[in-house]
């Protein structure tokens, strides 16, 4: 399994091209889809004020950031931490753009040159829930992820929330029998499971459920002028 890093940033504003800078970086590491505790959390002195609207979002004042390190002084440490990982980022283009700008200012190569891949959870969510609200807050609500202690946006906290959202969003990738056994197989190892050992209960419909089903079919018959596909198939099977 690949090493995953769930990443989020807070910035002084919305435009790296116009001089906005990263003020906070939060990363949470997953291996085999489990938290490892090998996380990264850094505040940076951006050497500029945050825009008023941005300050309302993250709450990180200039006074608080004044004695924090500049990004360039820790840029190589950030690269070493992220190297060869798959990055999980919500609205990835935003964070990647800021990170690439910071690396450029530090005289270092762009993100794609040292990470394995970048996965955008916003794009994933839009594919799974088209037409729905797919902000991080909306996804937390959809999956029951607790965000009650989130007064301000914070890179580390948001990365932790996103890690939980990502696991829920990609749960279909897990094996159907994921909880069988305690030891995890080596990558690439085929595990044989004898399904004959499982006794699956057969649940018959109750009289109430059968009556409700019949009522629904009658409504469909009425609205479709007797062209309900279910009844047509059933009649053909009995012929």
User: CA 55 to CA 13: how far, in whole Å?
Assistant: 9
User: CA 127 to CA 139: how far, in whole Å?
Assistant: 13
Choose among 193, 235, 196, 228: nearest CA to 213: 228
What's the Rg (C-alpha) of the chain? 25
41 carries an active-site annotation: no
Torsion sign, CA atoms 129, 133, 139, 141: negative
Q: How many CB atoms lie within 10 A of CB 213?
A: 12
- Which of 41, 51, 153, 213 is labelled catalytic? 153
Answer for the pair 95, 9: CB distance below 8 angstroms, yes or no: yes
User: Which of the residues are catalytic?
Assistant: 153
């Amino acid at each position: 399994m690949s090493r995953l890093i769930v990443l989020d940033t807070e910035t002084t504003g919305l435009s790296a091209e116009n001089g906005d800078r990263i003020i906070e970086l939060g990363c949470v590491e997953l291996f085999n889809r489990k938290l490892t505790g090998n996380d990264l959390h850094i505040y940076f002195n951006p050497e500029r004020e945050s825009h008023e609207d941005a300050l309302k979002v993250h709450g990180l004042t200039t006074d608080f950031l004044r004695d924090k390190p500049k990004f360039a002084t820790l840029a190589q440490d950030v690269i070493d931490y992220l190297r060869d990982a798959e990055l999980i980022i919500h609205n990835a283009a935003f964070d990647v753009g800021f990170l690439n700008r910071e690396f450029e200012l530090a005289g270092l190569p762009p993100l794609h040159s040292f990470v394995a891949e970048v996965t955008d959870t916003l794009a994933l969510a839009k594919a799974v829930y088209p037409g729905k609200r797919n902000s991080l807050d909306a996804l937390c609500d959809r999956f029951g992820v607790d965000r009650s202690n989130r007064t301000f946006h914070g890179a580390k906290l948001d990365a932790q929330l996103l890690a939980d959202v990502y696991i829920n969003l990609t749960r279909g990738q897990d094996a159907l029998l994921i909880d069988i056994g305690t030891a995890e197989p080596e990558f690439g190892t085929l595990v044989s499971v004898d399904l004959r050992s499982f006794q699956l209960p057969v649940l018959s419909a109750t009289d109430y459920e059968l009556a409700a089903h019949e009522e629904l079919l009658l409504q469909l018959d009425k609205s479709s002028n007797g062209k309900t596909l279910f009844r047509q198939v059933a009649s053909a099977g009995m012929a």
